[in-house]
Amino acid sequence: MARIDDYRESFRLASLELKKRNPSTLAEAAGVDIRGDRERTELLVPFLGTKHIVAFCPDIDIRKENATEEVSIPDKILIAHYLLGATGKKNSGNLITFRQIPDGHFYFDAFQRRARDPFVSFFGSNGRLFAKCAQEMGATPVENGDFGMEFRVFPRICVQLVLWEGDEEFEADATILFDESIQHQLPVEDIAVLSGSVVYRLIGLARRGQ
């Protein structure tokens, strides 16, 4: 598991790279709004249903719009990497699993522990709760599994969580699917972190509602 110092260094490097880029070009490729002027340029980046402000001057700063809550360093890294990796292309509509992502097999066990396993453990016997919490996060139903929901994590990145409920005869099962375009936008490590972010937000919503 990455240490906090590793996260800080990753964000520092991403911030340095963002400073080299043209904010208008980044905004167009990422499908996000831009505001301000040369003295105070900001990008408005929707991330899991919450708008985040990425300020470029004097240094890169990422915060939630209309909120005092601090943005976690892993989330800051995801947002920065999304802006750096955005290609401007729309989703292809072709879904792939984590294993099908280049080098996905190297991170597969960590991906399972971070995302798929907690998802099945918490929602495996309560698909309706999963669907309810997913809709609260802005997800839309898809015809896949017993309960399938699609999350627009970033403007150009969607993730599907698919659940087959368990019963007396069969254990619950689940899969997490990605549009194949994700492999050209985010490193495989970020895709695992992003998947975990979706799952733990779902679990957090469910626990607050209990």
Residues 88-147 pLDDT 10s: 988 888 999 999 998 888 899 999 999 999 999 999 999 999 999 999 999 999 999 999
Report yes or no on 117 lying in a domain.
Answer: yes
Residue type at position 68: T
Residue 183 confidence (pLDDT) above 90 = yes
Per cent of the chain over pLDDT 70 is 98
Report yes or no on 173 lying in a domain.
Answer: yes
Judge if 197 and 99 occupy the same domain: yes
Report yes or no on 124 lying in a domain.
Answer: yes
Report yes or no on 90 lying in a domain.
Answer: no
Domain boundary among 85, 117, 152: 85
Residue 186 confidence (pLDDT) above 70 = yes
Confidence at 209, pLDDT banded by 50, 70, 90: confident
Judge if 157 and 191 occupy the same domain: yes
Judge if 147 and 165 occupy the same domain: yes
Judge if 78 and 101 occupy the same domain: no
**How many independent structural domains does the chain possess?**
2
Judge if 15 and 57 occupy the same domain: yes
Domain boundary among 58, 85, 112: 85
Total residues found in the chain within this entry: 210
Judge if 102 and 204 occupy the same domain: yes
pTM above 0.85, yes or no: yes
Judge if 149 and 108 occupy the same domain: yes
* Residue-wise pLDDT tens digits, 39-74: 789 999 999 989 999 999 888 999 998 877 899 999
B/e letters for 126-147, b = 16+ CB within 10 Å, e = fewer, are bbebbbebbeebebeebebbbb
Tell me the residue range of the domain where 56 lies.
4-85
pLDDT at 2: 58
Report yes or no on 174 lying in a domain.
Answer: yes
